[in-house]
Structure formats: C-alpha cells, structure tokens
Amino acid sequence: MITLSVIKADTGGFVGHSAVHPDMMRTADEQLRERKAKGFIEDYCVGRVGDDIALIMTHRHGVDSELVHRIAWEVFQATTQVAKGLKLYGAGQDLLKDAFAGTIKGLGPGVAEMEFEERPSEPVIVFLGDKTSPGAWNLPVYRMFADPFNTPGLVIDPKMHGGFDFEILDLRENKVARFHTPSESYDLLSFIGSPNRYVIRNVYRPGDDEPVASTSTQRLSLIAGRYVGKDDPVLIVRCQSGLPAVGEALEAFAQPHLVEGWMRGSHCGPLMPVGFDQADTSRFDGPPRVVAYGFQINDGQLVGPRDMFGDPGFDKARQTALEMAEMMRRMGPFEPHRLPLEEMEYTAMPEVMAKVADRFKSAEPAAVQQAAAPR
Ligand code: F6R
Ligand code: MG
Ligand code: MG
C-alpha cells in the first residue's frame, strides 16, 4: 500500500497574498529532500499556487500519520522563518497554533490524503486551488464521477457503468453521509449544490473502501473562529482503467464555474484553470485559480509533475473565466459578487451596525404586513 499526502499552507506571501517566494520553495525542497534521504518518505514534489505551498508526498505510513504530519509542520515552520526573514506578507498565516500535537489537522494547513494499492500503472492528478474554498471542488468532482456529459466513460466503459459513491461532509454539523450515483444523484445534488455547507470529501467505487478521489475539507474560518485567510483547497484524483480518464478529470474545469473566495475571501468569482507559469494571482487578488499537477506513481516514486492545464486546449476556458470575472466585477460591493453577510471572511458590519443601531426604528406595522403579504 502507498499513501499520497498533499498538505498545503500559506506561510507568507510575495508580494502581498499573490505568490510564494522562491527562497521558501527552495527551503521546502531542501527539507523534504532531507526527510526522503532519511527514508521517512518515499518521494515528494513541492507544488504551489498563488501564495500557497503544497507538499505532495508519497510514503508507507498510512493516512493521518503523526510522522508525516510532523514533517509537514516542520517544513512549514522553516518556510515561515524564511518569510519572516524577508518580511514577506502574512508570514506563518496558516499556522494557527504554536505546538504540534500528533496531527496537523485543525492547526491550519489543508490536508488531502489517500492510501491505496498501487495499480500496474497509477496516473494521479493533484489539483491545487488558490483564493477559494473546499466547496469549489463540488461541481467539478460531480462532473468527473457522475456526469456523462463530461465523462463518457460512465456510459461506454463497462468498468464505470456502475457509477460511484460520494461521501459528503456537513461542515456545520461535522457529519458525513454517503450517496450512490447515478441512483441517488438528485439527493446528492440537493446537498452539494450548497458548497459552503456540504463538501465532497471522498469518492469511492461502489463496495470499495479505497478512495479514488479525496479533497481537503478544512475551513480556516470555522477552525479559527475569525478570518485568517481563505482555506485554499487541494483535490487528489486517481485516473484511468475504470476511473475518469485524465482528460475527463481535466474536462471538468473546461467550463469555469463561480466559487467563493477571491478578494478578502468575500467575493464570488470564476475558478480559472491555469498552467504553472500562471499560478500567481493578481487581478483583485485573483481571480480564483486551479493548477493541475499530473504524476505517474512508480513504486512509490512520483514521476512528474506534468503541467496538465498548461495547454492551449484550456485557453478558451481561461478566456471565459476572464469574461465572467469582468461581469462579476461590475457588481462592485453588491451581492452576488460580494458574498452574503454570513459567508464573508471580512466584515465591518458589526461596527457599522453598532454605530448606527439607534437610527433603526420599528417600521410601521402596516408597512411590514404589506411587504410580507403573499402575492
Ligand atoms: C483572500 C486574500 C486576500 C486578502 C486581501 C487583504 O484570500 O488572501 O484577498 O484578504 O489582500 O489582506 P489583508 O487583510 O491581509 O490586508
Ligand atoms: Mg496569504
Ligand atoms: Mg492562498
């Protein structure tokens, strides 16, 4: 069995919240090279998108391994020191606690991990998102594993024809539930259509407990109880031979959808698929974006990465995303570009409300009744 762990954090931005400084990338690489030399992990790749570093690691210690989580914690401590030394922005932003206690979960970084038996050939794609949140994966993961208009394999590959099981997490109640598709697609969609509350956590083949896709489902704002940066998510998808083809997994991002995040974690904007050379955010601190690291796993070694969105085939998607961005930006501080009050990461509303509270008088009962009357 092999475990693929992707642990990502924002430990400082260059410039502002836009990118990761090369010295931080170098430090993360040196740290993981040392851990690999000691035999703690099989292999690694240090990925990045926007201001986030992603530690992509293979190892034999299973999910939730204290050793592997501790390694990630130590690497992020080291990159934080580099960020502090350069006075980069928000150094250590996602490290919410001072001490490591057995797991990195709940300490700030995002975690997606899966343990599986390596197949004769094991293609995987690691998607990294910036300026958005875990619910951003709901729509594309549904497209990959349950929508035959995206994934013809669901119809024409006998190995996929039985459908897939989705495990969703209720972020508010901290409860999980499983749904089979296609038979329970409409039930599933009733939940995952609200991606700020219900997020897809894992996808399985029916009757099998080995995940074929896995997401990070932390919400920093819920963990920290206050704004500490958007919890930019990661997604792992295994591909081919009875799973979505690489091109079917990528196709799920070809028609950009609107996600929560962007400026101040408080806006709705398109998720733009980009190549490695376009991974840094700029316009209005965005737009939200996703990069795709492709690997073949060979006896635990990560053969890759290959830049899966660095293809003119996605130019049209990028163009569409930019047009959507333009349209949303015209709304300025109005919903639905600006998120509803309860979903904003920043809000001056309590202060504004406190300042003007005594201006609000009871409205005329008649006016209220009139407004509330059914049509
Ligand atoms: C969104 C994000 C940025 C910041 C914005 C303000 O996820 O990271 O849009 O929210 O640049 O940042 P502060 O409050 O640090 O000045
Ligand atoms: Mg940041
Ligand atoms: Mg980020």
- Mean pLDDT per 10-residue interval, the chain, length 375 residues: 97 98 98 98 98 98 97 98 98 90 90 97 98 96 98 98 97 93 98 95 95 88 64 95 98 98 95 98 98 98 98 98 98 96 82 91 73 61
Are 24 and 79 in contact, with CB atoms under 8 Å apart?
A: yes
| CA–centroid distance, residue 87 to ligand 2 (Å) | 13
Q: Whose CA is nearest to atom 10 of ligand 1?
A: 264
- Cα(320) to centroid of ligand 2, in Å? 26
For atom 15 of ligand 1, the residue with the nearest CA is 90
Pocket lining: 285 vs ligand 1, CB cutoff 6 Å: yes
Of 2, 231, 248, nearest in space to 114 by CA: 2
Tell me how far the alpha carbon of residue 11 lies from the centroid of ligand 2, in angstroms. Answer: 7
Gap between the Cα atoms of 323 and 115, Å rounded: 40
- Maximum alpha-carbon separation in the chain: 76
Q: What pLDDT shows up at residue 218?
A: 77
Strand order in the sheet with 110-116: 43-49, 52-59, 2-9, 110-116
Alpha-carbon 278 to chain mean position: 17
Q: State how beta strands 258-261 and 52-59 pair.
A: unpaired
Ligand with an atom nearest the CA of residue 11: 2
C-alpha torsion sign, points 130, 124, 240, 163: negative
Q: Which residues contact 294 (CB under 8 A, 6 or more apart)?
A: 123, 124, 125, 246, 304, 305, 306, 307, 308
What amino acid occupies position 354? A
Going by alpha carbons, the residue nearest to atom 6 of ligand 1 is 264
- Confidence at residue 368, expressed as pLDDT on a 0 to 100 scale: 58
CA-wise closest residue to 64 among 214, 208, 177: 214
Query: What value, to the nearest 5°, has the Cα angle with vertex 185 and ends 184 and 191?
Result: 100
In sequence order, the 6+-apart residues with CB closer than 8 A to the CB of 17 are: 10, 50, 51, 89, 90, 229, 281, 285
Specify whether the backbone of 53 is left (phi greater than 0), alpha (psi in -120 to 50) or beta. Answer: beta
CB-based contacts of 301, cutoff 8 Å, min separation 6: 42, 43, 58
d(CA 113, CA 57): 9
Q: Is the CB of 267 inside a 6 Å radius of any atom of ligand 1?
A: no
In testing the pocket of ligand 1, which one of 89, 130, 264 has its CB within 8 Å of the most ligand atoms?
Answer: 264
Q: Whose CA is nearest to atom 3 of ligand 1?
A: 264
| CB 16 less than 6 A from any atom of ligand 1 | yes
pLDDT of residue 31: 98
- Is ligand 1 within 6 A of the CB of residue 282? no
Name the residues around ion ligand 3, CB cutoff 5 A. 10, 50-52, 130, 232
The whole-angstrom separation of Cα 345 and Cα 264 is 7
Q: Does any ligand 1 atom lie closer than 6 A to the CB of residue 264? A: yes
- Ligand 2 center from residue 313 Cα (angstroms): 30
Residue 138: what are its φ and ψ, rounded to 5°?
-55, -50
Q: Which atom of ligand 1 has the smallest separation from the CA of 285?
A: 9
Question: Which of 17, 94, 219, 345 has most ligand 1 atoms within 8 Å of its beta carbon, as the pocket-test mutant?
Answer: 17
Q: Which residues participate in catalysis according to the annotation?
A: 10, 227, 230
Q: Hey, how many other C-beta atoms are within 10 angstroms of the C-beta on 121?
A: 10
Distance 246 CA to ligand 2 centre (A): 30
> Residue 129 has what pLDDT?
97
CA of 275 to the centre of ligand 2 (A): 20
Asked if residue 48 has its Cβ within 6 Å of ligand 1, the reply is no
pTM: 0.95
- Ligand 1, residue 286: give the atom nearest the CA: 9
Inter-helix orientation angle 138-146/185-192, to 10°: 170
221 phi, psi to nearest 5 deg: -65, -30
**239 CB-contact burial (10 Å; exposed 0-12 / middle 13-18 / buried 19+):** buried
Euclidean distance between CA atoms 273 and 325, whole angstroms: 13
Q: Do 305 and 295 contact (CB within 8 A), yes or no?
A: yes
Cα 178 to averaged position of ligand 3 atoms, centre (Å): 30
**Predicted local distance difference test score (pLDDT) of residue 30:** 98
Is the Cβ–Cβ distance between 251 and 150 less than 8 Å? yes
> In ligand 1, which atom is closest to the CA atom of 345?
10
